[in-house]
């Protein structure tokens, strides 16, 4: 996805296959104060037959209660879908009018919307825009060429044109496994899951050691380093296996002993040439929506964290401090479709993310994007059925597996949730990451086609790639496989497929194991467990004999390779 902020004069038309931004040029004799409006039109991503664009309009005249932006294409571009505006097209002329929720446009105020389009030949940039019939111009804020990569200035998609850091410690463990050399050179996330991890645990690599190793791997090109920021007070209030070292009230220690030292290291100019991607606090914020109050899935620990506000404060503080480092790209964890894909959870979760992104001095501009399916197993794409299918008089949504969810897989969820996040106020330039480290679901159990149409359940269960007993099962799942290999810009709105969870690292222990890492025992990691309301009281589907979360689990690693899809 392109997030270029440089104003490119509209006369410099885009050639096919490129991305850029178009703006209307101000006449030389018009002062900035006289400019009635400015429009910034960005092509975020483009492929052979289509593109995604974002438009920001700034009103410098009288306040408006409704608005309409118009432009015309020189080629055969056709808008196919949009968000944050009602977009219509007649021939080459396009009109984007406000939705009911964003019609107010104050003097000096801005509004953004986006759309997908198709084209053939050349996707030339529009040259003229109007706001309510008045021609808009550009104030590019000084504009000029973007700073060359590698100087600390954020780029559009950090994964584009870059290698990604291979963790030497994980790589060595993978290579030591039979057959592991097939994937030991893949990039994975570095988990900073406690304060001690910053300096290294038991003689292992700390944050500086990883960054120094990344500089060695970087060479003369660009390189992304993936870090998982994971140590909130009262962490994982609904999952004991990954409880952390900080108690529910230790927000000050989280700030001063954990986030501040990480931020100081990342800000070292020695590392300014690295692109540092942070996954900020997995499995935290959605708990405030789904596991609190009167819901049957509520836990007392999550009620405490909602009441004291320390999840929101902690995430906001992390975004603020880490976002101050110019070469850091914050991606907030956004759960997965089997958690917040339901109507009751979808919009409410986006609202909570907005609350956290504007807490403790943070702003939405500190968020470069979001990541879904971190350390989870939701299939990337279910091809054998869709949410709109009907079988034996019932919708797929009525099947026991889908259970009224709006989404059947991670890709459709991530793309839709991105639009929802923009709707609640995040920049239209945000991109999504999807963790595909364990969602391949290949091997002999992978269905070759749809299930029998006897009932909606036989249809869905017979055709689904995701072979978990229940979509709420999350711990060391039996039958799982490696998913799509890490890849930049694989789909509209998606910055990358990543392996943020290193394959072979356990989700939690099958039985209680004393440890000094603050990690508890969750029955969802016990293969004999019969479940709870969060998985509709189904069996856990977990592998036996698993170690404490984060520790190497050879049996799981072998199973992931065996069931990989695409196959190894």
CA 297 centroid distance within chain: 25
Q: Please identify which residue in the block is written with the tokens 């991530």.
A: 414
Secondary-structure breakdown of the chain: helix, strand, coil percentages, each rounded to the nearest 5: 25, 20, 55
Q: Which of 156, 366, 457, 507 is catalytic?
A: 507
What are the residues facing 118 on neighbouring strands?
Answer: 50, 78
394's tokens: 């019932």
Q: Which of 40, 236, 283, 495 is catalytic?
A: 283
303 part of the active site:
no
| HEC secondary structure over 38-61 | EEEEEEEEECCCEEEEEEEEEECC
Which own/partner contact pairs does 15-19 have at CB distance under 8 Å and 24+ positions apart? 15/122, 16/121, 16/122, 16/123, 17/46, 17/48, 18/43, 18/46, 19/43, 19/44, 19/45, 19/46, 19/51, 19/156
The Cα–Cα gap between 103 and 11 comes to 31
What are the residues facing 222 on neighbouring strands?
Answer: 162
| Largest CA-CA distance found in the chain, in angstroms, rounded | 77
> Do the beta carbons of residue 186 and residue 126 sit within 8 Å?
no
Four-CA torsion 398, 402, 404, 409, nearest 10 degrees: -140
283 part of the active site:
yes
Which one, of 25, 16, 15, 21, lies nearest residue 1 by Cα?
21
> Do the beta carbons of residue 104 and residue 81 sit within 8 Å?
no
Q: Could you list the active site residues? A: 283, 507
């Amino acid at each position: 996805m392109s997030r270029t902020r440089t104003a490119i004069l509209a006369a410099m038309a885009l050639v096919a296959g490129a991305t850029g931004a178009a703006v209307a040029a101000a006449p030389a004799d018009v002062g900035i104060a006289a400019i009635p409006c400015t429009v910034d039109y960005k092509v975020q991503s483009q492929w052979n037959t289509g593109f995604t664009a974002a438009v920001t309009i700034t009103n410098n005249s009288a306040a408006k209660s409704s608005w309409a932006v118009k432009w015309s294409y020189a080629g055969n571009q056709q808008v196919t879908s949009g968000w944050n505006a009602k977009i219509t097209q007649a021939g080459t002329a396009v009109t984007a009018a406000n939705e009911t929720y964003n019609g107010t446009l104050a003097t000096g105020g801005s509004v953004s919307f986006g759309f997908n389009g198709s084209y053939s030949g050349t996707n030339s940039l529009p040259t003229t825009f109007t706001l309510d019939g008045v021609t808009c111009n550009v104030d590019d804020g000084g504009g000029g060429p973007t700073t060359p990569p590698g100087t600390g200035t954020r780029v559009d998609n950090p994964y584009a044109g870059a290698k990604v850091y291979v963790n030497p410690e994980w790589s060595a463990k993978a290579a030591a496994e039979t057959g592991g050399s097939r994937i030991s050179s893949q990039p994975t996330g570095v988990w900073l899951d406690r304060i001690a991890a910053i300096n290294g645990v038991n003689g292992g690599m700390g944050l500086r050691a990883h960054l120094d190793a990344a500089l060695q791997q970087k060479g003369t090109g660009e390189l992304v380093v993936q870090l998982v920021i994971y140590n909130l007070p009262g962490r994982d209030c609904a999952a004991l296996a990954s409880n952390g070292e900080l108690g529910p009230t230790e927000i000050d220690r989280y700030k001063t002993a954990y986030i501040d030292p990480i931020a100081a290291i990342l800000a070292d100019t020695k590392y300014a040439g690295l692109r540092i991607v942070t996954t900020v606090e997995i499995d935290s914020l959605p708990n405030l929506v789904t596991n609190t109050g009167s819901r049957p899935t509520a836990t007392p620990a999550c009620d405490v964290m909602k009441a004291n506000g320390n999840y929101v404060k902690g995430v906001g503080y992390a975004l603020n401090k880490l976002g101050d480092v110019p070469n850091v790209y914050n991606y907030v964890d956004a759960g997965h479709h089997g958690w917040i894909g339901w109507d009751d959870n979808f919009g409410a979760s986006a609202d909570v993310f907005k609350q956290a992104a504007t807490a403790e001095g943070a702003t939405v501009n500190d968020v470069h994007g979001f990541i879904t399916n971190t350390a989870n197993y939701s299939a990337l794409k279910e091809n054998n059925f869709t949410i709109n299918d009907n079988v034996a008089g019932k919708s797929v949504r009525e099947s026991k597996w889908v259970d009224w969810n709006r989404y059947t897989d991670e890709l459709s969820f991530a793309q839709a949730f991105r639009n929802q996040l923009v709707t609640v106020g995040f920049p239209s330039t945000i991109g999504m990451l999807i963790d595909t480290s364990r969602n391949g679901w290949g091997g002999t159990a992978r269905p070759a086609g749809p299930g029998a149409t006897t009932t909606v359940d036989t249809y869905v269960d017979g055709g689904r790639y995701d072979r978990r007993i229940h979509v709420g099962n999350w711990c060391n799942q039996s039958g799982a496989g490696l998913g799509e290999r890490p890849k930049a810009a694989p789909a509209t709105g998606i910055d990358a497929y990543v392996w943020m969870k290193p394959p072979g690292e356990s989700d939690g222990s099958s039985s209680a194991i004393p440890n000094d890492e603050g990690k508890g025992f969750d029955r969802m990691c016990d293969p004999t467990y019969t479940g709870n309301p969060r998985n509709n009281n189904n069996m856990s589907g977990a592998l036996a004999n698993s170690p404490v979360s984060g520790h190497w689990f050879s049996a799981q690693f072998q199973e992931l390779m065996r069931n990989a899809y695409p196959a190894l």
